[in-house]
Structures are given as C-alpha cells and as structure tokens.
Amino acid sequence: MSAFHTEEMTLNMGPQHPSTHGVLRFVIKADGEVMREAIPDVGYLHRSIEKIAEKVGYHGFMPYTDRVDYVCAMFTNQGWAMACEKLAHIEVPRRGEYCRVIAAEFNRIASHLLTVGLMGMDIGAMTPFLHALREREMINDLIEELCGARLTFNYMRIGGVAWDLPPGWRDKALAYLDHLEPILDEFNALFSYNKICIQRLANVAVISADEAINYNLVGPNLRASGVNWDVRKDLPYSVYPEFDFEVPLGRGEWGTVGDAMDRYMMRIREMVQSARILRQALTQIPDGPVLGKVVRNFKPAANECQVRVESARGDQGWYVVSDGTGFPHRVHVRTGSFAAMGMIQKLSKGLMIADLVVLIASLDVIAPEIDR
C-alpha cells in the first residue's frame, strides 16, 4: 500500500476578503487547514501621501493627515501639528492642548470599539459588533458636534485646534462617559468573557516580550506582551502629565501573556483608562484661547524634527525636514500597523487558516497606515 502524501496549497486571502480589514492581500501556503505561512502582499492602497505634503504646504497638508489612519484621525492631525510647532517653536494655548486631548481620547475609544466589535464579527458573532458600533456612533455624534465631521476630522491646526468646545458640549460628553462605563461591563459579559471567544483567542499567536521589541511592535500590541511603554507616560507630550491614569499590560489570564486574547483585552482596558483621562480633562479644562498666533504664510527655518504621539495603534512618529520655504522638504510617518504586518508571516506558521482571521484582527492593522 502506497504511503499517504499531502500537497501544499497556495491560497489567496484578499484584497477584497472581508477579514483583511482593508485592501490587503495574504498569500497563504497551507497543508489542509494548517498554514505553513501567510505572506502579506501590500501596496494596493498606496497614495504617495507623504509626497503630497511636499506639494500642498504645511497648512494644506492637515486634511490629508486624516487619511493616514481614517479610523483614528485625531492622532494623525495632532502628530502633524506637533511637528510643525516644533519646527517653528510655536506654543499651543493650554485650553487648546486640553481640547486636543479630549478629542483624541474620544477618538481612541471610538477606534477600540470598532476593533473589539470587528473581532466578534470575524469569529462569527454579529451581535457584539452591533453593540460596539452603537456606542461608536454616539461618540461620532459628539465629535461631529465638536468639529463637523465623523471620520476625517481636520480638527487640529498648527498652534491649537480649529474650534472650542460648543456650549453645553462638556455636559453631554460627561453624560456619555456615565453611560459608557457600564456598557463596557455589559460588553465583557456578552462577548469578552464568553467561552467561545476565550477558546478562539486564548493561546493563539503568542508574541513574547522579546519578539515584540525585536519586531518593533508598538501600542496595545506591545503592551499585551508585557512591555510597559506608552508615549503618553514615557515621552510625555501635550498635557498628559497632568492626568492620573494607568497603562494596562497583558496578563495571560486565559492563556499565555502576549496571545490574541491579551491583545483584544488591551483595547477594552484602554477604553476604561481613556474614559478616566476624559473625566479629568473635561473637569479641569482651563479658560482661554484654543489657537495660538500662527502666520498664514508659514515658513519655518531650515531644520528637521521628529515627534511621537500615542495613537490608538501605538507609537506614531512624524519626521519632517524644512528647507525654509512654505513647503516641507521631506515628510515621513512611522505607523504601528506597518510594524505589526511584519510579524504576520512568522506568527502564521502552524496556525489554522481560521486563526489567521483572529491574528489579523488582534493586531488591529489598518490598510492606509500600511501603504500610505
């Protein structure tokens, strides 16, 4: 009787596959349901956005920064504004800094709600996604009242923010936080602590602390592996030093530290801390202007700078070179999703094909952050 032989299959996932979270493609080599590797094939969404900055000028590039991460655009707004301010030695009014933190932390919660909701949908649970999307829509309503947009905000400006908090908005925001915190407990009971969710996520695609550092992971993906690094704490910027909050770390409660379950729970716990920051910011916000004096014909002296912000997807770095004209000579943005994609080929070895969906969702990759 002849020996049993298997044959390796090459499969495509994407670029239109619903589990790829954007225009991404993975070339999967598998033996039955077990993957030998999943190779990311990126570039389907490349728009030369960094090159565009050189053509539209410092003020004109602000709306384009929204497109670097359309799910969490406040942080790309803030990173660009901070880089320009550092080049030109511009000081942002304190109320303007508070408005930035308030807008950014609400956007962090909205981004994480989408992430945890999509995790449910990706493993076959539609109801948690609808619950998360309902809460995200309420935040979008608040942000729309603040700046007129629900997704690509264009709220921040070089020197501060475009608009102050509308009358009565602070009370609405605090009321929403009162509503959100019990909802997160409800969401955990519905999905996070559900036996099926735990079995699908625990011990899947474990990333050790050393691996996370060596592959340059950032944000929740890094902290889920037990590495305590948050730009808001370790390289403080804006008015974050004035707030009392904790940096959650992976615990391995249901499996191993650094598994997909830890990465998922990081988003849940970060929403709690963002709500904590927001309560303090909304209560302590000082009076005064929200925008400093910046000339329209903005021409910083020839120089270079780098700034970092803690986005929903982690440590986001902006590098800008000025040549003394009204147009930047060079712009580069370092994003968390691009770094996370570099681990997928390694982590996919030995996983089931169905677990690749869990891996991608747990890393929270966003296609425009990868291609730019």
> What average pLDDT does range 296-312 have in this prediction?
92
Dump pLDDT digits (tens) for 166-182. 999 999 999 999 999 99
- pLDDT at residue 19, as a whole number: 64
- Measured CA to CA, the distance from residue 95 to residue 239 in angstroms comes to 10
Please identify which residue in the block is written with the tokens 């968390």: 336
261 CB-near residues (< 8 Å, 6+ apart): 198, 201, 202, 203, 204, 253, 254, 255
For 207-237, how does the pLDDT look when each residue is reduced to its tens digit (9 = 90+)? 999 999 999 999 999 999 999 999 999 999 9
Question: Is the pLDDT score of 16 beyond 90?
Answer: no
* 20-34 pLDDT, tens digit each: 677 888 898 998 888
Flag the least confident range among 44-58, 98-112, 309-323: 44-58
Q: What is the pLDDT of residues 85-110, one digit of tens each?
A: 999 999 999 999 999 999 999 999 99
Alpha carbon distance 96, 89 (integer Å): 16
- Sign of the CA dihedral 294, 299, 303, 307? positive
Query: Token pair of 157, please?
Result: 């400006």
Mean pLDDT of 107-134: 91
Take residue 38 and report the two structure tokens written for it. Answer: 């999943």
Cα–Cα distance, 53 to 59 (Å, whole number): 10
Query: What does DSSP assign to residue 19?
Result: G
123 phi/psi in degrees, rounded to 5: -105, 15
3-state secondary structure of 255: coil
Averaged pLDDT of the chain: 90
CA 15, 20, 25, 31 torsion: positive or negative?
negative
Distances in Å between the Cα of 237 and the Cα atoms of 86, 181, 234, 241 are 12, 26, 9, 8
Name the residue ranges covered by the structural domains of the chain: 59-363
Percent of the chain residues topping a pLDDT of 90: 63
pTM for the full predicted model: 0.93
CATH number of 59-363: 1.10.645.10
Helix (H, G, I), strand (E, B) or coil at 117: helix
